[in-house]
């Protein structure tokens, strides 16, 4: 459709176009047309247009047509459009029909099942939209607010999008697994996140099912890029240093900030990227039971690459070479995954193995000691522990390095409300630390680098790397190499 679009607006009176009453003769006529246009305007939405009395009666549907008969979607009645608009694809000038870019998502014919002032029931015959739907007026200014529902059953193989997938976990290994049938991915020094993309909107959930979407608003663009595709993705949010390497310390500046103004400022100072390595749901079908190799092929076809997200390559076999490359690039390590492995939510599986170049351990803070010298009056060292196989919280040493002045203030503020009178550790804290110890409820998780575990279960030379709020404290156990 070339040239300037003609504006066509008039208030609809649905009662004047109602279907003949029961028993009245009906003429056999050609079915009217419908079109659904994907509209990238101020907010992504889909425009449903039904041919009626020589115009396109239109509703804006923010999340597209629902596929679940139990779900209700919002629909906003808009101005009528000329029928010539049914074939339009392209850019619209600002101020005309909301501006933005329009593409045809689906088109075809439809049958009117009921047409009244406050209710329109119809059956679509399209390539992507095929089934019975109803639009019901709910009120709002000028009666613009409607709901849309699917009336017939979902397709036989259709599955609803899961609400909350707990990420699959890996065991720790000291070297590449023997034999063939393994794929390798670089391990990124970031925060695990599950992304739910539905109706062009992105919801980002942490490993312990916290909604962290407000922390990373730049990932809203991923939803716009995906459009109507419905996805659940697994990946990691990372921040890079000046040399282009993932840097967990830099990410700390973004991990705990939710204030809108501060987040906007940090977006420029500490940009992030979402590195995607798995697809768990795709357009009405769970993919978690598929082998890893098939899930990666589906992920490749999605071509998820943008200004703040990417899909890094995976490499089949030749694990030692990939590990050597990760060391040369000073990366955290490598993930080894069996090509035939299914995705098992919330489980730590031997079919996924992490091989670290840098020894790290998540620990739970059980207290702190008073600082001395330059740190007098401040936090001196953290008393840290892990849970054993029986769920007992055991002291695993203290960490007194790796802090900045800002970190010390933030840690003191976070730990103050958690104070308790007695030690939370099942085993004894050394007397030299117990003298000035302030104990806390074991709720705050942090990550440390270290050289080795000692024979009595303590971390040697630990260095503080940052707080993690993406994992429950009770899940923190000692990581051992196979």
Q: Are residues 182 and 176 in contact, defined by beta-carbon separation less than 8 angstroms?
A: yes
CA pair distance 444, 365, nearest whole angstrom: 6
Kindly report the number of other CB atoms within 10 A of residue 458's CB atom: 17
Least Cα distance to 134 among 123, 146, 149, 118 occurs for 149
Are the C-beta atoms of 238 and 272 separated by less than 8 Å?
Answer: yes
Q: Which residues contact 247 (CB under 8 A, 6 or more apart)?
A: 189, 239, 240, 241
354 is a catalytic site residue: no
Angle 216-222-224 from CA coordinates, rounded to 5°: 120
Report which secondary-structure segment, H or E, holds 223: helix 220-226
d(C-alpha 351, C-alpha 38), whole Å: 41
Chain position carrying tokens 């907010």:
43
Is residue 385 within 8 A of residue 201, CB to CB? The reply is: no
Are the beta carbons of 379 and 368 closer than 8 angstroms?
A: yes
Nearest to 130 by CA among 113, 104, 106, 99: 106
Structure tokens at 174: 């000291």
Query: What does the buried/exposed string (b/e) look like for 420-439 if buried means 16 or more CB atoms within 10 Å of the residue's CB?
Result: eeebbbeeebeeebeeebbb
CB-CB neighbours of 101 under 10 Å: 12
- Helical (H) or strand (E) element with 429: none
Which residue bears the tokens 């007098």? 376
Asked whether the beta carbons of 208 and 193 are under 8 A apart, the reply is no
Active-site entry in 63, 187, 337, 356: 187
Give the C-alpha distances (Å, rounded to integers) separating 181 from 102, 291, 325, 347. 45, 11, 20, 21
* φ, ψ for residue 293, nearest 5 deg: -60, -40
For residues 341 and 324, give the distance between their C-alpha atoms in angstroms, rounded to a whole number: 24
Which sequence positions are flagged as catalytic?
187
């Amino acid at each position: 459709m070339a040239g300037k679009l003609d504006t066509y607006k008039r208030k609809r009176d649905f009662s004047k176009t109602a279907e003949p009453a029961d028993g009245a003769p009906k003429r056999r006529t050609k079915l009217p047309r419908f079109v659904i246009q994907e509209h990238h305007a101020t907010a992504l939405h889909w425009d449903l247009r039904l041919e009626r009395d020589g115009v396109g009666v239109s509703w804006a549907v923010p999340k597209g047509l629902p596929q679940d008969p139990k779900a209700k979607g919002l629909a906003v009645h808009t101005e009528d459009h000329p029928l010539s608009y049914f074939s339009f694809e392209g850019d619209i000038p600002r101020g005309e029909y909301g501006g933005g870019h329009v593409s045809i998502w689906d088109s075809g014919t439809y049958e009117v099942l009921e047409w009244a002032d406050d209710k329109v029931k119809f059956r679509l015959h399209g390539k992507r939209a095929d089934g019975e739907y109803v639009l019901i007026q709910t009120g709002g200014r000028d009666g613009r607010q409607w709901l849309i529902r699917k009336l017939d059953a979902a397709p036989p193989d259709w599955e609803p999008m899961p609400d909350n997938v707990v990420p699959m976990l890996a065991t720790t290994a000291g070297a590449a697994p023997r034999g063939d049938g393994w794929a390798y991915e670089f391990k990124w020094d970031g925060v695990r996140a599950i992304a739910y993309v539905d109706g062009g909107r992105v919801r980002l959930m942490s490993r312990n099912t916290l909604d962290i979407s407000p922390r990373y608003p730049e990932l809203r663009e991923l939803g716009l890029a995906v459009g109507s595709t419905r996805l659940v993705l697994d990946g990691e949010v990372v921040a890079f240093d000046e040399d282009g390497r993932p840097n967990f310390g830099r990410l700390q500046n973004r991990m705990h900030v939710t204030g809108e103004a501060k987040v906007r400022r940090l977006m420029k100072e500490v940009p992030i990227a979402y590195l995607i390595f798995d697809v768990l749901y795709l357009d009405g079908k769970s993919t978690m039971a598929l082998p890893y190799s098939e899930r990666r092929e589906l992920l490749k076809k999605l071509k998820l690459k943008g200004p703040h997200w990417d899909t890094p390559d995976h490499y089949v076999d030749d694990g030692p070479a990939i590990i050597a490359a990760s060391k040369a690039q000073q990366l955290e390590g490598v993930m080894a995954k069996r090509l035939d492995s299914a995705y098992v939510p919330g489980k730590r599986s031997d079919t996924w193995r992490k091989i670290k170049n840098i020894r790290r351990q998540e620990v739970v803070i059980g207290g702190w000691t008073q600082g001395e010298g330059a740190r007098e009056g401040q936090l001196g060292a953290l008393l840290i522990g892990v849970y054993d196989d029986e769920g007992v919280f055991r002291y695993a040493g203290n960490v007194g390095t790796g802090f900045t002045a800002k970190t010390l203030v933030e840690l003191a503020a976070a730990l103050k409300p958690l104070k308790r009178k007695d030690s939370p550790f099942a085993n004894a804290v050394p007397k030299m630390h117990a003298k000035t110890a302030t104990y806390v409820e074991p709720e705050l998780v942090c990550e440390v680098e270290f050289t080795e575990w000692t024979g009595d279960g303590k971390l040697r030379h630990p260095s503080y790397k940052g707080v993690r709020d993406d994992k429950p404290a009770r899940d923190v156990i000692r990581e051992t190499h196979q």
